[in-house]
Amino acid sequence: MTDHPWPGDACSLVDAMRAGEITPTEALELTLGAVERSALNAFSYLDTDAARATAAAADTALPFGGVPVAVKELEPVAGWPYTEASLVHADRVAEFTSTQVERLRAAGAVLVGQTTSSEFGGVNYTSTKLHGTTRNPWDPSRTPGGSSGGSAAAVAGGLVPIASGGDGGGSIRIPSGYSGLVGLKSTYGRIPKGPKVHQNPHTVTVGCVSRSVRDTARWFDVCNGYDPHDTLSLPRVDGWERGLGTLGEALRGRRVAVAVDLGVAVVHPSVAALVRSGAEALVADAGLARVDVPVEFPPALLEWAMSNLVTLAADLGDRYPACEGDLTLEVMLGINIAAHHYDLDMAAAAERFRVEMHEVMARLLDEVDFVIAATNPDVAFAAEGPVPMTVGDRDLLAEFGDVMRAGGNTGILTMPANFAGNPAISVPVGTVVGLPVGMQVIGRHHEEPLLLELAHVVERERPWPLVAPGAPC
């Protein structure tokens, strides 16, 4: 025993508990002590008494029995604050618990508390009027990403071994890439989002940020499967963790396109070189067949950004526009533009874009089995934001104008998988200037096990640090 939380992944912690090396109560107390000392601002709420009661009664025979787990604050847990990281909902308490969290509880997880998020999950860094700024454990002056930034900071920072996340435009993969973690965005509907779920615009999935591929596989073993509260959720699939390491022959000879920038992003040369090297190694290690096909996804324009704000308008209800002064700048600007300009013509343009993106992805995956790209175009930027409009010495606004302003560059590599509903996974492939770089692999619908197998190959052949250097572990 030390004064620091468990340094390994969640699965190894369960193994240690079953072997009698550490108890659930000891693991929880180490986590609570580390959270109290931490300057990362990764947590917005701790449920200390309930967590201690759960740990004392934990059944370590369960998949996550006794493991301290954190929940992203955009996900409701009955009796906990349900602020969505916004002053608008500062006093709101959740009246129900998400299906994902209920399934984690049933699997023995000890729910420690909530991790910070960007307001309503709207931007790719984590700094809000309600909770302040969350920091990257690799460099506290940088962001851990967003919107699952608090979860990434907590896991990479050594506070908890695994935490929940959500991904509507990259919000699991982006912080995983910035923070040196594993992040799987599943096929749309793989894990239910209910109850009382907003479906529009059919891009958001839920899952986790983790230290290892097997942790992510176990999470999906526990959480996936149809739930009547989410009518678009998919039937249950078993054997995610059990299948790791068994699909090597199924991968051999599969076709892969390496398109670091997906034909649409501006990627820093150092990041591009590292991802390209990681891709070449994975192609060799997994016995893939690299093919050259054109890859060029269209940028997301203003119409799509506006259509995403329909669910926010439903959430705000009659509080808007009186509440606009409580909103962070990006959210306020977005909802104001949508309120004044979103109409039938813009909705139609967004729908045409969605159809085009689906066709681009489908045609590409008719020719190849996987696409490898960077997760992020650069390393993590300033913790307080804003989202950068430069990459190296390139001024993106000067080059691209309103197209780049509307579509962004920070999330432009992750959004295609959300638009088309495809699974995509981010794994660490090294560092640039001491900061993590993620490599993303996109696959066909319902083929997450193959993506996990590819990630497992990377992990086995080129393992990454499980926590950031200098973290509490």
Catalytic residue among 38, 86, 147, 151: 147
The DSSP letter of residue 91 is T
Measured at the CA of 115, the angle between CA 114 and CA 117, to 5 degrees, comes to: 125
Active site residue 151: no
Q: What are phi and psi of 390, to 5 degrees?
A: -135, 150
Which 3 state secondary structure label does DSSP give 45?
Answer: strand
Which stretches does DSSP call E strand in 7-97?
Answer: 43-46, 68-72
Concatenating the DSSP letter of every residue in 325-361 gives: GGS-HHHHHHHHHHHHH--HHHHHHHHHHHHHHHHHH
| Token pair 């190694």 in the structure block, residue | 281
Catalytic residue among 44, 86, 117, 171: 171
Nearest-angstrom CA–CA distance, 397 and 391: 11
Catalytic residue among 72, 118, 233, 307: 72
Q: Which two tokens stand for residue 438?
A: 């993620």
Q: Are 380 and 139 in contact (CB under 8 A)?
A: yes
Q: Which two tokens stand for residue 60?
A: 């370590």
Q: Which two tokens stand for residue 27?
A: 């693991």
How many Å from the N-terminal Cα to the C-terminal Cα in the chain? 11
Nearest-angstrom CA–CA distance, 301 and 307: 11
CA–CA distances in Å: residue 245 to residues 20, 62, 217, 250, 459: 27, 22, 12, 11, 11
Which 3 state secondary structure label does DSSP give 380?
Answer: coil
For the chain, counts of helices (H) and of strands (E)? 17, 15
Nearest-angstrom CA–CA distance, 66 and 436: 30
Active site residue 426: no
Q: Are 74 and 193 in contact (CB under 8 A)?
A: no
Q: H or E segment at 436?
A: strand 435-442
Active site residue 147: yes
Give the catalytic positions in this structure: 72, 147, 171
